[in-house]
Chains A and B, each alone.
Chain A
Amino acid sequence: MASFKVNGVERTLDVEPEMPLLWALRDELGLTGTKFGCGIASCGACTVHVNGMAVRSCVTPVSTVEGQEITTIEGLAMVAAGANPSAPALTAVQQAWIDHQVPQCGYCQAGMIMAVSALLASNPNPSAADVDSSITNVCRCGSYPRVRKAIRSLTA
């Protein structure tokens, strides 16, 4: 049995302790916003938050997140809004992604947004070098120039 909170909701799953969180989210809970990209923590498409920290869920066994708070792209805005009923439907990062038309195919962007959101939460004014060293996600469409612009708009 594995128990953890996903987007504010307590979940208990009858799965093996070594099952990666990615497949528990996708195949057991049907939360398909978190994407499978490489399976070896290289590309970042599967990035979720565990207690607010960016984690690559494809190599994170469910046993290591027992009792923790998981946030996925589906719950990002809701978790950020907390108890505030008038909070916008999207976070500032998500809105910046629309304003700068960042995604192309979009497949990597859930992971990209989760990674950037965690970075800005811990370091609201990252330098260009901070961004380069923290955001190592792969985007095959090459949205990097726009990711950079969107981050700059959030930190300026």
Chain B
Amino acid sequence: MKISRRRFIVSTALVGGGVLIGYAATRPSRHRRANTELAQNGERYVTSFIKINPDNRVTIYVPHSEMGQGVHTSLSMMAADELDANWELVDIEQAPAIDLFANGDLVKGFAKEFGVPSFLEGLIGAAAFKVAEVMNLQITGGSSSVRYTGDVAMRTAGAAAREMLIACAAARWGVSATECTTALSHVQHNASGRSIAYGELAADAALLEPPEAPVLKTPDQWQIMGKAISRNDIPAKVDGTAPYGIDAHSEDMLYAAIQFAPVFGTKLVSVDGSAALARRGVKRVIELEDAVAVVADNYWRAKEALKLVNAVFETSEFDNVSSVDIFAGFDRSLAASAGDTDKEQGDAESAMATAADVIEGNYRVPFLAHAAMEPMNCTVHIQNGKADLWTSTQDALGIKGRVASIAGLPETAVNFHHSYLGGGFGRRLPFNWNVIDHATLIAMEFDVPVKTVLSREDDMQQDYYRPAVSSNFKAAFDGAGNVLAWHNRFTGPIQVPGASHIPYAIENQSIHVVDGPTHVPIAAWRSVDHSQQTFFTESFIDEIAHRAGKNPYQLRMELLQDHPRHRKVLEVAAAAAGYGNDLPEGRALGIAVQESFGSIVAEVAEVSLDANNRAVVHKVTCAIDCGRAINPDTVESQVESGIIFGLTAALYGEISIEKGRVAQNNFPDYEMVRMATSPEIEVHIVESGEALGGLGEPATPPIAAAVTNALYILTGQRVRELPIRKHDFARANSLAKV
């Protein structure tokens, strides 16, 4: 499908015969609807996303959730720059959760890059949605906001608005539009020295049809994009006024605490809530299909009373399943079947059969929880056939539809109240709806607002997890140590196609995926499949380098002749990290590189062992090619964030299953990197000028392998199973001290 910058409805064929219907930012009908739905007091909407006020202030509506990635600011910068707005006069607002602001350009971008993403395919089958409503999403995910919504919708909207303002000024002055220029929210006619504020033109501009194909600026013309601009959401986040979903509050609010069926997929059998009901402030004990809830006038009271509820849940075939069984099942699946082809190139099997040498490496990683700092929560107030809804979500429109369908209300009767998200990382995407569903069902029993909040323990035990994966590798070498074949069998499902593919020029490659079903619910987790696959592939390529007797950096460079962008970030990161130079005693550098979500990231980790033989990561040096940096300071903070998120997983992260349920309870047994364990991070942005890449996720994948590759150099031990804390490096440390 051709992606056009012109304004019109776009459609994308879906796997399975469906259709996605989307829109470019300036579709005329939407333009008119914006005027009738949102314009008040003489304000005029020039396009769907941009409002120009008579006082010359510009409001930019951002149709994405702000969860710390700085997207409200970055997207506004893109629109404002194309508009030639005065940044001092720009206000940024979260677009309301109405379909006018559905961010279909994101879906288009996904469709172009990956085909239809799996989490959207599911929507076609979801009872709550009709095919035509698939575009009725307001998703923030896939590191996509800036590179799709921003680069397509926001820039085009800004450029279209600018051209319309010029047309109005030219008509008013009786001059040609080509004689007019724009700067700082004014149209100027340099020949006559006239200048007029956008605000004075807004009323006229609103009557124009938007241009078919507005001309976007070239990077050398950027005034706002490319500059480190302070984020607009930060002041409210330092004085305590920033609202999160969990902060919804009213005098008459009630609070719900929930106890879930501990084994996934099982149901509630019986409840004795009498002791709970006798407690102060307790209003109701509510039985749900797979949970029981206590509703009280204070969350602590609800939680304390819940401890007194005697709930019996049904037994299930999964009651005795453990992580050991799950991985044993993966091993059986991998042994029993070649699975489905993910990639075949050349003839890896033959190369393996005739090779001078073959090495093997069997890897695995556990389930992981998202553990966003804001525990999952949802507040619903249903009264007189209407609902008010407060929740931190990566998909406001989808959540609105979900609550409407459960409450039996039309979607238009649900009023969604936007807030900041206390972390998302994939947990707050569509389908991860357990808390939303429960909160709605509970609130239907009352006519006051009810806030349902998960305890940290339940947030950890009732998540939708990063899948556990086992991945087995073989590599074949000729007599001279050259690698001939790459052979990989891993357990699925595949959530992001291509994550297991390698950029390296190895002639024969055979990559297959084998079914690895479990009873544990899974979902996207920051960087999705890349988080597991990059640990596997960037570790095994390191194994290949060591077997070939080559420096791991050098081998990568040799095998990346056709990937100059990969080579460049490797070069920059290695040089900045002092790769190849002498290091302090007992330290080693590990390196890894991965392309994901349109960005290419190389990371070098400097690692040692402490007196207790625990891995210590001193410094991570990173180079990222994200095409261009729209807001370089945000790029840096997202890279820092992605590295620390991935490092937490690499060092400590494990959700294990015991007796069918999650064994971990809270942060002490699902530990996080904290100040004392957080490395120094140095970020180098490589501006290749290629298409914009994502930022929220691409820094997460390489870090695990960068650290374990350093540990191999340091200790001679190859870490093939995460987390790192489970490995005993005692022997190596005593050797290192000698």
Residues of A that sit less than 8 Å from B by CB:
15-16, 19-20, 22-23, 26-28, 30, 32-40, 42-43, 45, 72-74, 76-77, 89-90, 94, 97-98, 101-110, 113, 131-133, 135-148
From B238, B641, B672, contact of A109 by CB (8 A) = B238
Selected A-B contacts with CB under 8 Å, 19 pairs: A19-B300, A19-B301, A26-B299, A27-B299, A35-B374, A40-B667, A74-B240, A77-B239, A94-B239, A97-B238, A98-B230, A105-B374, A105-B420, A107-B420, A132-B676, A138-B672, A140-B372, A141-B373, A145-B678
Say which one of B154-162, B241-249, B439-447 lies at the interface with A: B241-249
6 new A-B contacts at CB < 8 Å, known A37-B375, A101-B230, A135-B674: A22-B300, A32-B246, A89-B239, A107-B423, A140-B373, A143-B641
A98 touches B423 (CB 8 A): no
Q: In the complex, A11→B465 CA distance in Å?
A: 43
**What A residues does B233 contact at CB under 8 A?**
103, 106
Cβ-defined contact, A101 with B298, below 8 A? no
**Known contacts A97-B234, A144-B673, A144-B675; is A23 also within 8 Å of B299 by CB?**
yes
Contact indicator A141/B423 (Cβ below 8 Å): yes
B27 within 8 A of A: no
Q: Which of B67-86 contact A (CB under 8 A)?
A: 67-70
**Which among B231, B642, B668, B680 is the interface contact of A42 at CB below 8 angstroms?**
B668
Most chain B CB within a 10 A radius of its CB, from A103, A133, A146 = A103
Binding site for A on B (CB under 8 A): 67-70, 230-231, 233-244, 246-247, 249, 253, 255, 280, 297-301, 371-375, 420-425, 453, 455-456, 633, 637, 640-645, 666-668, 672-676, 678, 680-681
Complex CA–CA separation, A90 to B237 (angstroms): 12
Question: Residues of B contacting A143 with CB < 8 Å?
Answer: 637, 640-641
Smallest CB-CB separation from B667: which chain A residue?
A: A42
For the complex formed, measure the closest distance between the CB of A21 and the CB atoms of chain B, giving whole angstroms.
Answer: 10
Is the Cβ of A142 less than 8 Å from the Cβ of B678? yes
B681: A residues at CB distance < 8 A: 145
What's the Cα separation between A132 and B237 when bound, in Å? 23
Query: Does A103 contact B234, Cβ atoms closer than 8 Å?
Result: yes
Q: Chain B residues near A43 (CB, 8 Å)?
A: 373, 456, 667, 672
A138 and B456 form a contact (CB under 8 A): no
- What is the distance, in angstroms, from B603's C-beta to the closest C-beta of chain A? 14
Among B637, B640, B642, B672, max chain A CB count under 10 A is at B637
With CB as the reference atom, state the residue of chain B lying closest to A93. B238
Given contacts A90-B239, A97-B234, contact A103 B68 (CB under 8 A): yes
A113 vs B242: C-alpha distance in the bound complex, in angstroms?
14
B373 and A139 form a contact (CB under 8 A): yes
**In the docked arrangement, what's the CA distance between A131 and B237, Å?**
22
Docked CA distance A152–B230 (Å): 20
For residue A72, which residues in chain B have a CB less than 8 angstroms away from its CB? Answer: 240
User: Contact: A103 with B237, CB < 8 Å?
Assistant: yes
Q: How far is the CB of B371 from chain A (nearest CB, A)?
A: 6
| A144, closest chain B residue (CB) | B678
CB distance from A101 to the nearest CB of B (A): 6
Q: Which of A38, A94, A109, A135 contacts B666 (CB 8 A)?
A: A38
Nearest opposing residue in chain A for B668, CB measure: A42
C-alpha spacing A14/B243, complex, angstroms: 27
Contact A90 B238 (CB under 8 A): yes
Task: Give A22's nearest chain B residue, CB to CB.
Answer: B300
The one of A30, A113, A133, A141 in contact with B238, judged by C-beta atoms closer than 8 angstroms, is A113
Instruction: Find out whether the CB atom of A37 lies under 8 angstroms from the CB atom of B640.
Output: no
Q: Complex formed: what's the CA distance from A136 to B374 in Å? A: 17
Task: Point out the residues of chain A lying under 8 angstroms from B297, CB to CB.
Answer: 27
Chain B residues near A73: list those with CB within 8 A: 239-240
A142 contacts B645, C-beta separation under 8 Å: yes
- In-complex Cβ contact of A40 among B69, B240, B633, B666 (8 A): B666
Distance of A41 Cα from B310 Cα, bound (Å): 27
Q: In the complex, what residue of chain B is closest to A103 when comparing beta carbons?
A: B237
Instruction: Determine if B371 and A136 form an interchain contact, defined as CB atoms under 8 angstroms apart.
Output: no
Contact among B253, B642, B675 for A135, CB-based, below 8 A: B675
Q: Using A16-B280, A42-B667, A98-B235 as known contacts, say yes or no to A104 and B300 having CB atoms under 8 A apart.
A: no
**How far is it, in angstroms, between the C-alpha of A142 and the C-alpha of B238 when the chains are bound?**
16
Q: Nearest 7 CB-CB pairs, A to B?
A: A33-B240, A142-B644, A104-B68, A107-B422, A106-B237, A73-B240, A105-B68
CB proximity of A141 to chain B, nearest CB, Å: 5
Which of B69, B371, B641 makes the CB contact (< 8 A) with A142?
A: B641
Tell me, in angstroms, the Cα distance from A76 to B420 when the chains sit together. 22
* A39-B456 in contact (CB<8A): yes
Rounded to whole angstroms, the CA-CA distance of A97 and B240 in the bound complex is 13
Q: Hey, which chain A residues are within 8 Å of B67, CB to CB?
A: 104-105
Q: Collect the chain A residues with CB atoms within 8 Å of residue B238's CB.
A: 90, 94, 97-98, 102-103, 109, 113
Contact residues in B for A132 (Cβ distance below 8 Å)? 675-676
A106 contacts B453, C-beta separation under 8 Å = no
Asked whether, in the complex, the Cβ of A142 is within 8 Å of the Cβ of B643, the reply is yes
Q: How far is the CA of A150 from the CA of B383 in the complex (A)?
A: 47
Residues of A within 8 A of B244 (CB): 35, 107
Q: Roughly how many angstroms separate A107 CA and B233 CA in the complex, as a whole number?
A: 12
| A129 to B, closest residue via Cβ | B676
Q: Please report the C-alpha to C-alpha distance between residue A23 and residue B67 in the assembled complex, in whole angstroms.
A: 24
CB of A106 within 8 A of CB of B242, answer yes
- A90-B239, A145-B680 known; A101+B668 contact, CB < 8 A: no
Q: Which of A26, A76, A101 contacts B637 (CB 8 A)?
A: A101
Measured CA separation A138–B425 after assembly (Å): 16
What separation, in Å, do the CA atoms of A27 and B676 have in the docked complex?
Answer: 33
A101 & B633 in contact (Cβ 8 Å cutoff): yes
Residues of chain B within 8 A of A89, CB atoms compared: 239
List, in ascending order, chain A residues with CB within 8 A of B240's CB. 33-34, 72-74, 76, 110
Instruction: Among A36, A107, A133, A139, find the residue whose CB has the most chain B CB atoms closer than 10 A.
Output: A107
Q: How many whole Å from B633's CB to the nearest CB in chain A?
A: 6
Contact in complex: B375, A36 (CB < 8 Å): yes
Chain A nearest CB: distance from B170 CB in Å?
A: 40
B-chain residues with CB within 8 Å of residue A139 when the two chains form the complex: 373
Known contacts A101-B230, A131-B675; A39 and B455 CB within 8 A of each other: yes
| Complex alpha-carbon distance, A77 and B422, angstroms | 23
| B230, B236, B642, B644: the one within 8 Å of A144 (CB) | B644
B505 to chain A, nearest CB (A): 34
Determine whether the beta carbon of B667 is less than 8 Å from that of A32. no
Known A132-B675, A140-B672, A142-B640: A105·B298 in contact at CB below 8 Å: no
A96 nearest CB neighbor, chain B only: B238
